[in-house]
Structure 1
Amino acid sequence: MSDAETEYTLHMETPSVEDYCLLRVISGLSPKSKEAATIGLPNTVCGVTITLDGKAVGMGRIVGDRGCFYQVVDMAVDPVHQARGLGKQIMSALMNYVEAEAPDGAYVSLVADGPAKHLYAKFGFEPVTPKSIGMAFRVSRT
Structure 2
Amino acid sequence: MDNRTVLNRLPTPSEHRRLAEAVGWAHAFDWETMPASLEGSLAGVVALDGSHVVGMGRLVGDGVKYFYIQDLAVLPAYQGQGIGTALLRRLLDYVARTAPATAFVGLFATHDAVSLYQRDGFTLGDMTGMFQLVRPASD
TM-score by length of 2: 0.88
Provide the residue aligned with 1:78 in structure 2: 75
Please say if 1:39 is aligned against 2:36: yes
- Distance in 1 between the 2:122 and 2:50 partners? 32
Provide the residue aligned with 2:6 in structure 1: 10
Q: RMSD in angstroms over aligned alpha carbons? A: 1.7
Q: Deviations over 1:101-131 (max 9, x none)?
A: 1121321101121131111112211103xx3
Select the residue among 113, 129, 133 that pairs with 2:128.
133
- Give ranges in structure 2 of 5+ residues lacking alignment: none
Where 1:115 maps in the other structure, the secondary structure is helix
Please say if 1:53 is aligned against 2:47: no
Where 1:94 maps in the other structure, the secondary structure is helix
Q: Deviations over 1:13-34 (max 9, x none)?
A: 0000000011111112344233
> What is the percentage of aligned positions where both structures have the same residue?
30
Select the residue among 59, 68, 76 that pairs with 1:62.
59
Where 1:83 maps in the other structure, the secondary structure is coil
Tell me by how many angstroms 1:138 deviates: 2.3
Provide the residue aligned with 2:23 in structure 1: 27
Letter of the structure 1 residue corresponding to residue 6 of structure 2: L
Q: Does structure 2 retain, via aligned residues, the 8 Å contact 1:18–1:34? A: no
Tell me by how many angstroms 1:83 deviates: 1.3
Tell me by how many angstroms 1:139 deviates: 4.2
Bigger shift: residues 131-140 or 19-28: 131-140
Where 2:32 maps in the other structure, the secondary structure is helix
- Distance in 2 between the 1:115 and 1:64 partners? 24
- Distance in 1 between the 2:100 and 2:14 partners? 33
Select the residue among 121, 124, 133 that pairs with 1:124.
121
Bigger shift: residues 103-112 or 57-66: 103-112
TM-score by length of 1: 0.86
Select the residue among 88, 105, 108 that pairs with 1:111.
108
Tell me by how many angstroms 1:140 deviates: 5.6
